[in-house]
Amino acid sequence: MPNEAFPSLDLNVVIGQLARSAEAIRALACAIPKVAAQWKPAPDAWSLSEVLAHLYDEERSDFRQRLQWMLGERNAPPPPREVSGGGALEGFLAEREASIAWLEALGSPDWDVSVDLTFGQGAEAETLTFRVGDMLVSWVEHDTLHLRQMVELLHAWYAHVAPPYRTAYAGSW
C-alpha cells in the first residue's frame, strides 16, 4: 500500500515539504516578539533562539551531510556535527536552500541503502541501522517536531505576558 504522505517516496513531494516547512519556520520565528526569543517557559526548556540554532546546526551538519555520506563513500565515519553561533534563522534558511538544491540534483537514489550509525559513546553507545529513506522522512518529521515546539513557545509566551488579562475567548489549548 503506497504511503499517501510520501507516495513511493517521491523526492519532489519531500522537497516541497522541506521548502514549505522552512517557510513555516521563518513565519513562526518572525511572529514571536524579539523580546521573547531568549525567554524560556521553564529552566530546562529551550528558547526560540535555541530552537533556531538547533535547526541551523541540523541543516548545516546533519541531515544533508549524512544523506550525502550514506549515498556515497561509507568506509569513512559519518561527518561530525557542528554547533553554530548567531544568525541562526538566516543560516538555517540559506542551508535549507542548499539542501533543496542538492536534493533536486539527486536523481533516483536507492532509498533502501542502509548504514549503521552509532549514537553516544562508551557503554552508553547504541548502534542503529538506518536506510536512506528513513533519514529522508526523518528530516521532514524533524521540521514538524520543531514547528510544534515553536507554536508551543508562542502559546507559552502569550500566556506568560497576558495577565492580568485572559485568553479564554480564544478557546482552550
Cα 116 to the chain's mean position, in Å?
21
Q: Name, in order, each residue with C-beta under 8 angstroms of 13's C-beta and a sequence gap of 6 or more.
A: 5, 6, 7
- How confident is the model over 135-171, as pLDDT tens digits? 999 999 999 999 999 999 999 999 999 999 999 999 9
Q: Which domains does the chain have, with CATH numbers?
A: 9-170 (1.20.120.450)
- How confident is the model over 81-105, as pLDDT tens digits? 555 555 899 999 999 999 999 999 9
| Full 3-state SS string of the chain | CCCCCCHHHCHHHHHHHHHHHHHHHHHHHHHCCHHHCCCCCCCCCCCHHHHHHHHHHHHHHCHHHHHHHHHCCCCCCCCCCCCCCCCHHHHHHHHHHHHHHHHHCCCCCCCCCEEEEEECCHHHCEEEEEEHHHHHHHHHHHHHHHHHHHHHHHHHHHHHHCCCCCCHHHCCC
At 1, the pLDDT band (50, 70, 90 cuts) reads very low
At 74, the pLDDT band (50, 70, 90 cuts) reads low
